[in-house]
Amino acid sequence: MGETPSAREETAFARFAACCEALAATTKRTEKRRLLAAFLRKLPPDEVEATAQQVPAQLRLFDVLQVGDEPLIDAPYARRWERLAEIGGTVAVVERLVPSSPAEGERFFQQAVAEGHEGVMAKQLSSTYSPGARGGTVAVRPEVVVEVLFNDVQRSPQYACGRALRFARIARLRPDKGPEECDTLQTLRRLFAAQFGRERDSEGGAQ
């Protein structure tokens, strides 16, 4: 039998800051996407409750930033996961694999997709946590097409394409559409030009 944690250790484990996600408790991809759509659309409380009844969700921890008085935000991911595994108890952690070969990683990815997930997240074991950024992290998943509503198109130096959708929001998922059917930057430029009655979007156009 393992040693019983001291009172000090139990107190430290009782206070921690972790990152988590809600997963639909089903293997049906349509139900998982239904839950995703609910989050993306920012449903009102009553609709969230109804969706929760129809598609129960499970909480899963996937990263930890602090345990007790020990800050981990600058610690490498391997260390953060080590601490996460130690504190994981009443709340489960996500399934994780450090593949020994590309083939093993591919099998893990295919298993995730077969279970109805969108894919997996690949992280460098040496990466630190960067709030609002994905340094050392890559999303590996099948393409998902969504329908986006927006008020208008505007210039934006923040993006490489130079354009942004004003008040953009997800309307619904479009499982009936493939990535090749999505609108392109050319469509966005035409919409921008049409807002000002122009035939084409010149760089010297209206703001």
Whether CATH 3.20.20.140 fits 7-140? no
Partners of 66 in the β-ladder: 17, 71
**pLDDT score at 197:** 67
> Rounded to whole angstroms, how far apart are CA atoms 3 and 1?
7
Mean pLDDT, the chain, integer = 75
**Residue 37 binned pLDDT confidence (cut-offs 50, 70, 90):** low
Report pLDDT digits (tens) over 105-133.
Answer: 889 988 888 877 778 888 889 888 877 66
Report pLDDT digits (tens) over 46-105.
Answer: 776 776 677 677 778 888 888 888 889 899 999 999 888 887 666 788 888 999 998 898
Q: Which is nearest to 109 in space by CA: 95, 91, 92, 125? A: 95
Name the residue with tokens 């619904």: 172
| Domain ranges (residues) in the chain | 7-140, 146-195
Taking every pair of Cα atoms in the chain, the longest distance, rounded to a whole number of angstroms, is 77
Q: What six digits make up the tokens of 14?
A: 């009782």
Report pLDDT digits (tens) over 157-187.
Answer: 888 888 888 888 888 888 888 888 888 888 8
**Residue 20 binned pLDDT confidence (cut-offs 50, 70, 90):** confident
Q: Which residues of 94-113 are buried (b: 16+ CB within 10 A; e: fewer)?
A: eeeeeeeeeeebeebbeebe
**pLDDT score at 104:** 92
pTM for this one?
0.53
Are 167 and 186 contacting, i.e. CB atoms less than 8 angstroms apart? Answer: no
**pLDDT score at 92:** 80
> Rounded to whole angstroms, how far apart are CA atoms 139 and 136?
10
